[in-house]
């Protein structure tokens, strides 16, 4: 993990403790399945690839009762 985890619920802003979570890049799995079926999937835009890379965290918010899965979290640059 590159930096500290996010510290607030993205839905309601409640302070919560995110935990590191293994992230499976499903788009790669889907592309492999498409190729196995003889299809050529279109490439993902670079901005989407960038968004899906990075650290992955999960937390359950007691404030809004939402489970949040954050992928590609990057702490603010200082």
Q: What's the pLDDT at 75? A: 53
56 forms beta bridges with 71
- Residues 18-27, buried b or exposed e (16+ Cβ, 10 A)? beeeebeeee
pLDDT tens-digit map of 7-43: 899 889 999 988 888 777 788 888 899 999 999 998 8
pTM of the model: 0.58
* Alpha-carbon span 16 to 2, nearest angstrom: 19
Per-residue model confidence (pLDDT) at position 38: 96
Mean pLDDT of the chain: 82
What are the residue boundaries of the structural domains of the chain, listed by start?
A: 19-73
Comparison of pLDDT for 26 and 59, the residue scoring more: 59
pLDDT at site 10? 85
Q: What is the DSSP string of 13-36?
A: --B---EE-----HHHHHHHHHHH
């Amino acid at each position: 993990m590159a930096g500290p985890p996010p510290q607030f619920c993205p839905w309601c802003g409640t302070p919560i403790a995110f935990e590191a979570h293994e992230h499976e890049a499903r788009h790669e799995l889907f592309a492999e399945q498409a190729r196995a079926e003889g299809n050529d999937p279109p490439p993902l835009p670079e901005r989407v690839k960038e968004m899906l890379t990075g650290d992955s965290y999960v937390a359950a918010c007691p404030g809004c009762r939402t489970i949040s899965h954050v992928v590609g979290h990057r702490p603010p640059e200082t």
